């Protein structure tokens, strides 16, 4: 009897929840695969798989009913990765375009590495990412929820620099880059939703214990400083973060070392 019940259950019951201004909606795998705007897409250089990939996908814009360009969204993965994303790029229909790739249970995706599962069941991918300089952190996989939130500055004032600084100060530029490239994995002063990486100010800021330019070396490629097969932090290459932008991120971290707030 139990065996017959189990056989009757769907082989795959993954769900994606969208918490938007007009309420919450949950989509399951079968619904998304049958979505009227679902189509097959090719990703020539997939960020997570490091090779060309083929997906059945739905344009993210068609799922974000009621969302406008100025809104702020967060994609939450099952492993604690929380990608903060301005809505504007997700709503684009030309240039860089965001797609929700859906793993078909009949054709499961390969593992991301020998000991890791695949990127499913839902993975946010981009066609022509170079057009809007989409960063690797804007490719969250294993996504379980996308939600509409207030901006990072509104939710987490403890990570803001001194308000006396000019808007174009390197520290404020570094904050914007930190949000785009680092905040999906790290907190600062306890501020943030990610559970993946350590806090970068409490108890100690990395600028306090990395000598000279070793922090920049570590950010560029952690394996150049500490070779550890289990390390999770990816290399952040110059095409993602230029040398000038890297200096601005470090400037922000140095500034925040003097603005510690105990959670």
Write out the DSSP string of 34-88.
T-TT-EEEEETT-TTTSS-EEEEEEEHHHH-TT--TT-EEEEEETTS-EEEEEHH
Q: Which two tokens stand for residue 59?
A: 């344009």
Q: CA 16, CA 30: separation in Å to the nearest integer?
A: 11
Q: How many CA atoms lie within 13 A of 249 on its CB side?
A: 24
- List every span in the chain annotated with CATH 3.90.420.10: 10-149
Asked whether 84 and 71 are in contact (CB, 8 A), the reply is no
Nearest CA to 178 out of 141, 262, 194 is that of 194
pLDDT tens string 173-200: 999 999 888 988 899 999 888 777 899 9
* Closest residue by Cα to residue 52 from 43, 60, 61: 43
Residue ranges of the chain whose pLDDT lies below 50? 1-11
Residues of the chain by 3-state class (helix, strand, coil), percent to 5: 30, 20, 50
Distance, in Å, from the CA atom of 252 to the CA atom of 238, rounded to the nearest integer, reads 18
Number of neighbours of residue 181 by Cβ within 10 angstroms: 21
Please give the CATH superfamily to which domain 10-149 belongs. Answer: Oxidoreductase, molybdopterin-binding domain (3.90.420.10)
Query: In a 3-state reduction of DSSP, which class is residue 168?
Result: coil
* Contact assessment for residue 56 and residue 102, using Cβ atoms and an 8 Å cutoff: yes
Instruction: For residue 123, give both structure tokens.
Output: 């993975």
Rounded Cα–Cα distance for residues 120 and 124 (Å): 10
Determine the pLDDT at residue 100.
Answer: 98
For domain 153-256, the question of CATH label 1.10.3720.10 is answered with no
pTM of the full structure: 0.78
User: Which residues in the chain are classed under CATH 2.60.40.420?
Assistant: 153-256
What is d(CA 200, CA 236) in angstroms, rounded to the nearest whole number? Answer: 17
């Amino acid at each position: 009897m139990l065996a017959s019940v189990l056989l009757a259950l769907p082989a795959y019951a993954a769900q994606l929840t969208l918490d938007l201004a007009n309420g919450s909606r949950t989509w399951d795998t079968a619904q998304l695969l049958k979505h009227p705007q679902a189509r097959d897409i090719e990703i020539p250089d997939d960020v997570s798989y490091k090779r060309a990939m083929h997906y059945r996908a739905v344009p993210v814009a068609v799922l974000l009913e009621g969302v406008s360009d100025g809104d702020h969204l967060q994609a939450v993965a099952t492993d604690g990765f929380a990608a903060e994303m301005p809505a504007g790029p997700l709503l684009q229909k030309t240039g860089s375009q965001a797609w929700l790739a859906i793993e078909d249970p009949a054709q499961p995706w390969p593992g991301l590495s020998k000991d890791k599962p695949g990127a499913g069941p839902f993975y946010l991918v981009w066609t022509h990412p170079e057009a809007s300089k989409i960063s690797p952190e804007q490719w969250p996989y294993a996504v379980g929820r996308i939600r509409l939130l207030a901006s990072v500055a509104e939710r987490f004032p403890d990570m803001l620099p001194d308000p006396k600084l000019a808007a174009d100060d390197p520290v404020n530029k570094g904050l914007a880059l930190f949000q785009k490239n680092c905040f999906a994995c790290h907190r600062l002063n306890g501020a943030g939703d990610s559970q993946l990486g350590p806090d970068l100010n409490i108890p100690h800021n990395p600028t306090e214990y990395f000598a000279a330019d070793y922090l920049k070396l570590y950010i560029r490629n952690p394996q150049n400083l500490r070779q550890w097969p289990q390390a999770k932090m990816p290399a952040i290459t110059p095409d993602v973060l230029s040398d000038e932008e890297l200096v601005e991120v470090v400037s922000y971290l140095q500034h925040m070392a003097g603005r510690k707030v105990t959670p």
